[in-house]
Structure 1
């Protein structure tokens, strides 16, 4: 009997409550799992172990002596990029795992190297695992039109805005609570957001209109998306940069700095200063960052629950640059991947399906501040009672974007950030910054980037 038929028999027997027949086999299969030792996701590997335990109970109920053992390796790499490079080295010397955890943007590199299995057939054959996956998340595991991974978790990065400041400048509750809807309908642009922030600053209610991360990172992609900047050619699997869209983004940055909304020295701030400006000191009207900020915001402001929180703080996507445009936010999913070099790729994929069930994924998500990956998780008690902020943010995934599934996206982001620094400090005007960045992209990334316009 094949492994798949044994698993199906086990599942059927458990579902029907049928008495187990005589043992079918006596065998132990060991699967190697690679994950990063990460406090933000201890159950990424742990849920695979739990899934194996569940499968072993199903196999025992089917009368099989077959057991699956997990050999879990937790790499101590400082970040997902370093971890991916370590994983590449392991595969290169035939010491790669059967399945592994990775940041989604590395999937293209793993596919090209022959280390990621096409999971289209597996996904279609197991709708009980994947039919209620939030559809937008599938984009994060696609490479050249096919899915090579399963989303393990996600988050959302958006604009946080201080509602109390809007009340102090006389804005109505209808306006304050309706702002996210206006953004979603394309009625309120990113220039309108700057003008609103200027009202707050000019009234003396805030010292800073908008604050952002003070270093290189993916957060700026959602703002660039507001100007039609698409950093990835999916068909060719290459990075791309539009001169027109990049110039428009830098134009907005200059407009916001000149208006006294974004500090000219923003890129020299410390992270502590950025967080304090919105949390404790409350000198900033808007901060754009991630959903995981909510607990710290509540603690700093003494907020007791969802009603308190949403009375004080609102969320919105990055607004479109023009009326009628589409807003955007950013997500950074971590994913499961199966190695095509595994002796048991079907079994590895099946374990990922089990680990992706609503109960197990919810244990991970609620305990680490991540959004659900499936609609069915939204009604689970843990999300309703403990993960209310995550549950509230899930609908925002409709407008989410992802970093390109390209190994050099970090370098790409670093070059664009040089332009952000240059514009905000006044060292270069938007046109000069655009020209500089495009030259740098071409010089450093060569054939890996397509320059448009």
Structure 2
């Protein structure tokens, strides 16, 4: 085959190939379409077959079935255990409510106002010291009533629970036996080394008592904090004695303060001399009411008043007779009035020089004479003298009484929730300081009852310091009256009998027998000898 022929062949073959390829493509496309259609048909058939395999939907029935079955349950138990936690919290402390204390004090008379004002001055000291947790506020009463009316006022107020926490009364035995005061031993012991140890020992003895009845029956206690002492004695006018011709040296020898070497007959003789000379209206004046001088009268005439072993009061008939005879003789001489005048007459008569002797006063009375009766400083220092009561019989000795007065802390006189014995006792401790005691001395001319007060500069600057220091030794040997619940009855009965003798109602002899009957009726267990 020629090349040309071959060329044509190749051209023909190319066309056939292209045609063949086109047919092939068409056949492939048709084939793929058939396959796709077959797959779709197969899928449809499968779906129908699957649908024919699913059972029909059943009727829905709801039913509740309760099955009881023990199932183990795990329980977690929580146990609380104490845990110590330290927590610091700043808290503003609330101070306790203050304690209100009421204090009732008595003169009697106008001078011892420092019994109240010293308590007032002690309040800020107590609050500053902090002896008790609470602060204290104070309400004070100072009374010029006599002892009887003041006591009635006190008991009436106590019955109504409107009384004081602190009171000044003398009759410790009756108050203790009646349950009206509380013992103070524990407070005295607590603060002993802080100042109570400085008191004259006799002052503590004066406030001790063994109760016979009441809540403290059979117990001996300290019942009060001593406040002052008023040793009793005889005051006399030196200017009257000078007018009788006696020198100051003679007077000092005749009438020493200690009464050593002097007798009651010496007093009577001088009184009669002054009366007979017309220098005085009365030679002697004595109290218009019962007092501790009754104890003195019985002692200086040789009698007993109290038996400490048997704890009983005593009347010595021989001593009573001698005393009655002595007083009756002075009335008969015109030296003593038939009836004692009232207090203001007695004080005025002495200050004005109308009597030579007065048995009605104590070491502190000049303060009242100065304040109320016109006694001058010059007359006091130059013309007045003071001495113990001298003995009336050889077997007796000079006597003075202590005349103590104490602050007492009450019991049952206020509402129960208002009771405050510790606060009251703490206040009394602060009121017993040396400087406040000196203030009381300057006001009343009564000697301080604690020894350190005598070294206080205020006492050194006092115009009458020498006088105070001169009478202070009396606190060492002065006798205290019986601490017996019937002492008040005793001295009243004896005093009324003396008045009957002086008035001429009874003879001394008849008076003794009458006194025995009266005392035995009032005090059944009294010893009569």
Q: Same fold (TM over 0.5)?
A: yes
**What RMSD over aligned residues (CA atoms) do the two structures have, in Å?**
3.4
Distance 1:183-1:34 versus aligned 2 partners, 3 A rule: closer
| Structure ID, larger Rg | 2
Matched, 1:168 2:235: no
Distance 1:151-1:179 versus aligned 2 partners, 3 A rule: farther
Matched, 1:415 2:470: no
Contact (CA 8 Å) 2:101, 2:424: kept in 1 or not?
no
State the TM-score, normalized to the length of structure 2: 0.69
Contact (CA 8 Å) 2:294, 2:494: kept in 1 or not?
no
Contact (CA 8 Å) 2:167, 2:409: kept in 1 or not?
no
Contact (CA 8 Å) 2:290, 2:492: kept in 1 or not?
yes
Alpha-carbon distance, 1:253 to partner: 1.3
Alpha-carbon distance, 1:343 to partner: 5.8
Deviates further, 319-328 or 433-442 = 319-328
Aligned-partner Cα distance in 2 for 1:23–1:360? 36
Aligned-partner Cα distance in 2 for 1:250–1:319? 17
User: Counterpart of 2:400?
Assistant: 329
Distance 1:422-1:174 versus aligned 2 partners, 3 A rule: same
Q: Which has the higher contact order (CA 8 A, sep 6+)?
A: 1
Alpha-carbon distance, 1:328 to partner: 1.7
Distance 1:90-1:221 versus aligned 2 partners, 3 A rule: same
State the TM-score, normalized to the length of structure 1: 0.79
User: Counterpart of 1:130?
Assistant: 196
Greater fraction of residues in strand: 1
Distance 1:165-1:41 versus aligned 2 partners, 3 A rule: closer
Matched, 1:27 2:105: no
User: Counterpart of 2:433?
Assistant: 357
Alpha-carbon distance, 1:30 to partner: 0.9
Correspondent of 1:69 among 116, 136, 143: 136
Unaligned runs of 5+ in 2: 1-90, 211-219, 413-417
Matched, 1:214 2:288: yes
Alpha-carbon distance, 1:53 to partner: 1.5
**What is the aligned length?**
418
Aligned-partner Cα distance in 1 for 2:375–2:423? 48
Contact (CA 8 Å) 2:126, 2:426: kept in 1 or not?
no
User: Counterpart of 1:102?
Assistant: 168
Residue by residue over 1:113-166, the C-alpha shift from the partner in whole angstroms, topping out at 9 and shown as x without a partner, is 233333334334413322221233234312135421111123233211121222
User: Counterpart of 1:439?
Assistant: 517
Matches within 5 A, 1:29-428: 29-36=98-105, 39-59=110-130, 66-72=133-139, 74=141, 78-91=145-158, 97=164, 99-104=165-170, 106-125=171-190, 126-144=192-210, 146-181=221-256, 183-185=258-260, 187-234=261-308, 238-263=312-337, 265-267=338-340, 269-280=341-352, 282-290=353-361, 291-295=363-367, 303-305=376-378, 308-323=379-394, 325-339=396-410, 344-384=420-460, 385-388=462-465, 389-406=467-484, 408-428=486-506
Aligned-partner Cα distance in 1 for 2:427–2:186? 15
Unaligned runs of 5+ in 1: 1-21
Task: Specify the SS of the correspondent of 1:123.
Answer: helix
Deviates further, 296-305 or 111-120 = 296-305
